[in-house]
Amino acid sequence: MEEKSQGFIKEVLNHLMDKNIFVNFTVEFLFFIIKLFICIGIYYFALKIIKKIAPIYNKAREESVIDPSLRSFIRSILYVGLHATLITICLLIMGVKESSLLAFFGTFGIGVGLALKDNLSNFAGGIIVLIFKTYKVGDEVNISGEVGYVHDIDIFSTTVRTHNNDLVIVPNGSIVSNKVINYTKTPIRRLKFVIGVSYDADLDVAREALEKLLRDNSLVLADPPVYSHVDAYADSSINIALKGWTTNEHYWTVYKETLNGIKGALDRENISIPFPQMDVHLNNVDK
């Protein structure tokens, strides 16, 4: 038994000391390094070429009739597809068999699908947004409480640029399952202001002063007409609702101009805007 063990060890050592083994290992290692550098080179130069072509492609697309929202969506899909293709080519160059690669991608796809099921719903949400044209790039929207303009529609999310110039990223899956307000879908938009006036004020005079302020603005539409009404009898004031209509593009201009002019319009009629107050009445009780 001991002789057999010594013979086995001796044979292993002889194979390890065989020069052919070291030569084959060195050749295989060099081939591996060469193929690795080839893959890195292909990946690097492919990305360089695409970066050079991308501006020309984007310019041509901007001049085409394709919707900007669809362009951004397709661009994001192509970006992911490009990297997946380059990785596949590199793996094939490194010597990975096609059958093994298919099995790997199949298993990888199942794992990713289970791990990223929420992202798959976001992807489906993006497709629904594009098919039903819920909104497009440039539209003014209210999405998940974020009011602003659609900046970009990606595979998994929509980017909204708010009026504060913040970029808010909203997942597409939550968008299709919640309320979305698209202000750009209609050509005109209603303005509404709620102004509190004193209980001592003449409501007819106050309403006329507020309506005149809105009517005198050249950006406010004559039809539908400007009107006002009592909105509520609050604790410290009578709240008047002032309403009018303007085009979408002029909405915020009219909104700010009206806010700036409300107090002056009421001051000219000697109508005060009260601040919150409480009247306390003390009754003397004779003991």
26-35, 72-81, 253-262, 265-274: which has the minimum mean pLDDT? 72-81
Mean pLDDT of 121-144: 84
Conformation bin of residue 110: beta by default, left when phi > 0, alpha when psi is -120 to 50: alpha
Residue showing tokens 């629904």:
128
The pLDDT value given to residue 154: 81
CATH classification (class only), 186-267: alpha beta
Tokens encoding 209: 């002063």
Task: Assess contact for 138 and 92: CB atoms under 8 A.
Answer: no
Mean pLDDT of 246-266: 94
Residue showing tokens 């201009």:
253
| Coil, strand or helix at 266 | helix
Q: Could you tell me which residue, 160 or 16, shows the higher pLDDT? A: 160
Question: How far is Cα 198 from Cα 212, in angstroms, rounded to an integer?
Answer: 19
pLDDT reading at 218 higher than 90: yes
The pLDDT value given to residue 8: 58
The pLDDT value given to residue 239: 96
Question: How far is Cα 172 from Cα 211, in angstroms, rounded to an integer?
Answer: 42
The CATH number of 122-184 is 2.30.30.60
Query: Quick one: which of 125, 278, 258 has its CA closest to 194?
Result: 258
Residues of the chain above pLDDT 70, percent: 69
The pLDDT value given to residue 212: 95
- Domain ranges within the chain, ordered by starting residue: 19-115, 122-184, 186-267
pTM over the 0.85 mark: no
| Coil, strand or helix at 36 | helix
Mean pLDDT of 34-63: 69
pLDDT class of 69 with cuts at 50, 70, 90:
low
Reported as a single tens digit per residue, the pLDDT across 152-189 is: 888 788 999 998 899 999 988 888 888 899 999 888 99
Pairing, β 167-171 against β 157-162: antiparallel
Q: What are phi and psi of 81, to 5 degrees?
A: -65, -35
Q: Could you tell me which residue, 94 or 226, shows the higher pLDDT? A: 226
Give strand pairing partners of 238: 197, 233
pLDDT class of 56 with cuts at 50, 70, 90:
low
Task: Assess contact for 157 and 170: CB atoms under 8 A.
Answer: yes
Question: How far is Cα 140 from Cα 184, in angstroms, rounded to an integer?
Answer: 6
pLDDT class of 129 with cuts at 50, 70, 90:
confident
Mean pLDDT of 245-272: 94
Reported as a single tens digit per residue, the pLDDT across 83-104 is: 777 777 777 777 777 666 666 6
